[in-house]
Amino acid sequence: MGDNARRADVLSGPGRSSRAGLVPKTRRAREGNERTPGSATAPGDLMRLFVAIAPPAAVLDELDAWVEPFRARRLDLRWTNRAAWHVTLAFLGQVNETTTAELLPRLEHAAQRHQQVGLAFAGAGAFPAARRANVLWSGLSGDCEALAALAESVAAGASCAGASPPDRGRSFQPHLTLARCRMAADVTGLVAALSAYQGQLWTADRLHLVRSRLGATESPRYVSLASWPLRTPPVTPG
């Protein structure tokens, strides 16, 4: 997948890593854009979709090493699979194939409007609150304003295509989900410990439309249906 081969395992082709998600190889639909070779989805079937960016594998490896000692201390949490880590820009919910076809050019346009974004994983938090958490997450630092603008463009494009995000209008909180709680849990200590983390700087350079396949007993499997490059910043004369 060109430079996407350096992105997170969740959006890599099969066989790249023992931790990789089940993601088919893609072919280029237009220069710089990538799409899956085909789909077994019938026109009336629904797909659970979201739009995301995929951090580089080395960045996720660093975060994974930081988080690892905490997993054994909290076996009551459902820690997410490293191979599935990503940063969601918009969750779209159940979308049929006809709407997905309308969605593709809207997302391509959103990617063309925005430059690559410099980010780093930093800090931690929980939804809805650390004392009664359902989700434990790692936060981001860097150009989060630009990331929020990209997320808004994605949400606007999805809405125009008929796939409005169910939570549109809610404040955008960029994060990577580290763990989920079977029942509301107090993760105050974890948030305090993980908040000391400051990862290396990385560049979000591509937008992905991802399908989530939910299993009854296993973690979700993510498939990148299409991706588009963000604009490269202009070179400033020295």
Active site residues per annotation: 86, 175
Beta carbons within 8 Å of 170's beta carbon, 6+ residues apart: none
Tokens linked to 89? 């820009």
DSSP conformation class of 172: P
Tokens linked to 84? 């599935």
CA distances from 61 to 66, 88, 130 (A): 9, 19, 25
Beta carbons within 8 Å of 166's beta carbon, 6+ residues apart: 91, 93
For 190, phi and psi rounded to 5 degrees?
-65, -45
Dihedral over alpha carbons 86, 88, 92, 98 (to 10 degrees): -60
DSSP conformation class of 19: T
Tokens linked to 28? 């280029």
Beta carbons within 8 Å of 130's beta carbon, 6+ residues apart: 186, 187, 188, 191
Is the distance from CB of 226 to CB of 104 less than 8 angstroms? yes
The closest alpha carbon to 226, from 5, 88, 10, 33, belongs to: 33
The closest alpha carbon to 22, from 230, 224, 229, belongs to: 224
